[in-house]
Amino acid sequence: MGRAFAWTFATVVLARAQVSSTISLNNGVQLEIAAHFGQPTGEETLKVEMARASGNSFYRMFRDQNNLMVFAYELAVNLSPGGDSLSATARPAENEFAARFPNADAGKPVPSLSSDQEMGPLGSGQSAEIGLFEIPGMGLKVSESIRVRMRQDVASGALNFTGLRVSIGGGPLSPAPAGSVAGRYAMFYIPGRGGFFFATEDPGRGGFVKAGNIDRSEMRFTLDNENYVCSAGAPILASDASGDLWVYHDPNYKPEGNWTHMPDTTQDQFFMAAADSLNWWLP
C-alpha cells in the first residue's frame, strides 16, 4: 500500500466511484485499467490521467480539484510468448517522470509507489488489483485493477475496424490484417508509413484534420495528396451508416512493446487498435 495523505480542501465536489480506460488490439488483447476510489465523502475529487511513458508502459496520474498531482506511477505490460496471458508491473514514477511533468505538485515531488509491484501472468477474464494511496477523512482509498481479455469479441465503440483492408492510390496492402477492434478512437499502423489515428468528430487536439468520410463498411480519406480506401468486414460506425472522419498521421509512429505484436513474432507488420482515449498512443 502506498503512503497516506492528510489534506483538507474547501471545494466540495464528489469523486466518482470508478473510472476506467480500455484498449483493444487486433492480436486479440483487450486491457482495462479501472481506478477505484473507495467511499468518497464528497469533500474531495480526483481526476485520473494517462500518458505514454515507453513502448510498453504508461503513466497513471491522479490530480485533485486544484489540478495538483497527488499521486502517479508507471504501469508496464507484456504479452506472454504464446499470446495467452499478460503480465503487468506497477513501478514508481521517478526521474524521467519528474522531468516530463515539472511542477505537477507545485514544485514538490509527486508521491508514488515505494517499489515495483508485479501482477500476473493474467489469463483471459482474470484481473489483479494494486493498492495506491489513501486520503484520510475523505473516504478515499484509491486502488486500480487490471483486467485482461484474450481473443475477445469486438466491443462496442464509435469506430469498429473488422478485418480492415487498406488501399493507397488503388494499390492494396498485403496481407490483410486479422482481428477486430472497436472504441471511441481507432488507429492503424502501416510499416514504412507510420501511424494513422481516427475520430468521428474533432478531438480538440493538434494535428487532426477533417480528411474524409465513412460510408457503411468503407472509409475514405486523403492525406498529402494520397487517397486511402479502407474496406471492413462489418459496418465501421456503431450508430450511423455514414459520417465524417477526422485523421491524424504520425509518419514516425511505430507500435512498441511486445504486447502490441501478434504472438510468436516480432515482425514489423500492419497493426490495429482502438481505445476510449488517444493517450494510449499519443503524448
What pLDDT score was predicted for residue 41? Answer: 67
As a whole number of angstroms, the distance between CA 87 and CA 103 comes to 32
Q: Quick check: 24 and 271 in contact, CB under 8 A?
A: no
What pLDDT score was predicted for residue 17? Answer: 45
Q: Which residue ranges make up each domain of the chain?
A: 18-150, 159-280
What pLDDT score was predicted for residue 153? Answer: 60
Instruction: List all residues 6 or more positions away from 89 whose beta carbon is below 8 Å from its beta carbon.
Output: 75, 76, 116, 117, 118, 119
What pLDDT score was predicted for residue 82? Answer: 83
Other Cβ atoms closer than 10 A to 136: 11
What pLDDT score was predicted for residue 93? Answer: 94
As a whole number of angstroms, the distance between CA 176 and CA 205 comes to 31
What pLDDT score was predicted for residue 73? Answer: 96
Q: Sort 216 into a burial class: Cβ within 10 Å, 0-12 / 13-18 / 19+.
A: middle
As a whole number of angstroms, the distance between CA 280 and CA 26 comes to 15
Query: 175: cis peptide before it, omega within 30°?
Result: yes
Q: Quick check: 271 and 188 in contact, CB under 8 A?
A: yes
What pLDDT score was predicted for residue 238? Answer: 77
What pLDDT score was predicted for residue 259? Answer: 87
As a whole number of angstroms, the distance between CA 132 and CA 92 comes to 11
Beta bridge mates, 25? 273
Mean pLDDT, consecutive 10-residue stretches, the chain (283 aa), reads: 33 47 90 87 81 89 92 94 90 93 89 94 93 85 91 71 90 74 93 94 91 94 94 86 93 87 74 91 83
C-alpha cell at 110: 509527486
Q: Tell me which residue of 191, 187, 165 sits closest to 176, measured CA to CA.
A: 165
What pLDDT score was predicted for residue 12? Answer: 28
Task: Look up the pTM and report it.
Answer: 0.84
